[in-house]
């Protein structure tokens, strides 16, 4: 079995438009035995500059809520659907998402988390393979198969949504609390045995 260092993508030129724009490839961060894996859309300007997912204001919102829920950032894994910054923060294209999918799937397979938390519409739709109304569905838990393996996926609003729409704060907080419950970080056993019968 390899280590997370094996998961670091250091050279990749599959997405020509992103290669032109990026300063660096932004890999996932966090321990390889993390119970919770957060998946965002892709790096923004701060992430591209610092080489780490979810820094800047969105990262602060996430960090604060993680602390409140008993999930320090150092104990969770955070990654993105695409590892290179799309120009002007546009959504990644379907082709770019597919290009980078193998890296994400390898990371999920290696980590085998108790719960995958998708932060926003793009990662939710990417991993569920269907349209997702994130605001309405935030907090929902679904069983998914990724490369044939079963996982539990929790839909969450993007932390930045709480900055633009204060009504999203409670939803975001409740969803992160739910992630902690599912991971057993609140002292519970995380609920039923993972994906029994799935
Ligand atoms: S987004 Fe992923 S697949 Fe595309 S160039 Fe970057 S690392 Fe490669």
CA–centroid distance for 135 within its chain: 17
The arrangement of strands across the sheet holding 141-146 comes to: 77-80, 36-40, 115-119, 149-156, 141-146
Q: Could you give the dihedral angle defined by the CA atoms of residues 37, 29, 59 and 18, in that order, rounded to the nearest 10 degrees? A: -100
Q: What is the pLDDT of residue 4?
A: 55
Least confident of 8-12, 31-35, 58-62, 142-146: 31-35
How many Å lie between the centroid of ligand 1 and the Cα of residue 86?
10
Mean pLDDT across 14-26: 97
Q: How far apart are CA 161 and CA 157, in angstroms?
A: 7
Taking CA atoms only, the protein residue closest to ligand 1 atom 8 is 12
**Cβ proximity of 160 and 57 under 8 Å:** yes
Q: What is the pLDDT of residue 8?
A: 93
The tens digit of pLDDT for each residue in 89-144 reads 899 999 999 999 999 999 999 999 999 999 999 999 999 999 999 999 999 999 99
CATH architecture assignment, domain 3-183: 3-Layer(aba) Sandwich (3.40)
**Cβ proximity of 10 and 24 under 8 Å:** no
Taking CA atoms only, the protein residue closest to ligand 1 atom 7 is 83
Taking CA atoms only, the protein residue closest to ligand 1 atom 3 is 100
* All structural domains of the chain with their residue ranges: 3-183
26 CB near ligand 1 (under 6 Å): no
18 CB near ligand 1 (under 6 Å): yes
């Amino acid at each position: 079995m390899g280590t997370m260092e094996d998961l670091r993508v250091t050279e990749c030129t599959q997405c020509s438009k992103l290669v032109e724009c990026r300063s660096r490839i932004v890999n996932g961060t966090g321990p390889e035995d993390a119970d919770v894996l957060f998946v965002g859309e892709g790096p923004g300007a701060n992430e591209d500059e610092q080489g780490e997912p979810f820094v800047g204001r969105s990262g602060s919102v996430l960090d604060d809520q993680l602390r409140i829920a008993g999930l320090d950032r150092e104990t969770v894994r955070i990654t993105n659907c695409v590892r290179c910054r799309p120009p002007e923060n546009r959504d990644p294209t379907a082709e770019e998402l597919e290009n980078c999918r193998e890296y994400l799937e390898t990371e999920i397979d290696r980590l085998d988390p108790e719960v995958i938390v998708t932060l926003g519409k793009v990662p939710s739709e990417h991993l569920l393979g269907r349209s997702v109304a994130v605001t309405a569905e935030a907090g929902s838990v679904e069983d998914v198969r990724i490369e044939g393996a079963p996982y539990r996926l929790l839909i969450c609003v993007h932390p930045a949504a709480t900055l633009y729409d204060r009504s999203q704060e409670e939803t975001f907080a409740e969803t992160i609390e739910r992630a902690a419950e599912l991971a057993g970080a609140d002292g519970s056993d995380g609920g039923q045995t993972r994906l029994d019968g799935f």
